Structures are given as structure tokens and as C-alpha cells.
Amino acid sequence: MENGMRNLAIVFLMAIALGSTAAEYVVDSSGSADYVTIQSALDVAGVGDIVTVNMGTYVENLTMASGVTLQSASGSAATVIDGEGYI
């Protein structure tokens, strides 16, 4: 009985780990990715998700949820977010 409970606990923990994978949303202003604007990708992203922004300059004032990763696909020098004077 003890082994059965342990096995059940292991299966339960594995199911939780497999079911909690992060989604990645890709942004490209040319339209060749999942989203054209960063904000549209941030609007669907949840805790643990990643929004990857392809190179370019994006003129947007962003609002993002806690727990979402925003990253450049090509490094900070290749991807610029111009907040139109907002901080």
C-alpha cells in the first residue's frame, strides 16, 4: 500500500510539471510572426510565458503583467521599444 501511494504521488507531481509549460509568443512588426505588436502578445501572455520580440523599433506604451518575460530575439541593440516619452 505504501508503494502504491508513493507511485501515485510521483505520477501526480509529474502531471503537474508537464502541465505547467510556458508558452512563447513571437512579435515581428513585418507580420511574419505570431503578433505584430508587443502589446497584443502581452495581452494574451500569462505567468511564466515568454514574449520574444524580433529586431526593429516598436513605438508602443506597454502594460504587462507580473511574471511575463519580455526579451529580444537579437539582443538589446537590435530591438528598441520607444515608449513615446512615457516611462
Number of domains in the chain: 1
- Residue 51 confidence class, pLDDT cut points 50, 70, 90: very high
| Residue 9 resides in a domain | no
- For the chain, how far is it from start to end, CA to CA, in angstroms? 59
| Residue 34 resides in a domain | yes
| Residue 75 resides in a domain | yes
Residue 34, all three cell numbers: 505570431
| pLDDT of res. 18 | 53
Whether the per-residue pLDDT at 46 is higher than 80: the answer is: yes
| pLDDT of res. 63 | 94
CA dist 26 and 56 (Å) reads 13
| pLDDT of res. 56 | 96
| pLDDT of res. 16 | 55
pTM, rounded to two decimals: 0.73
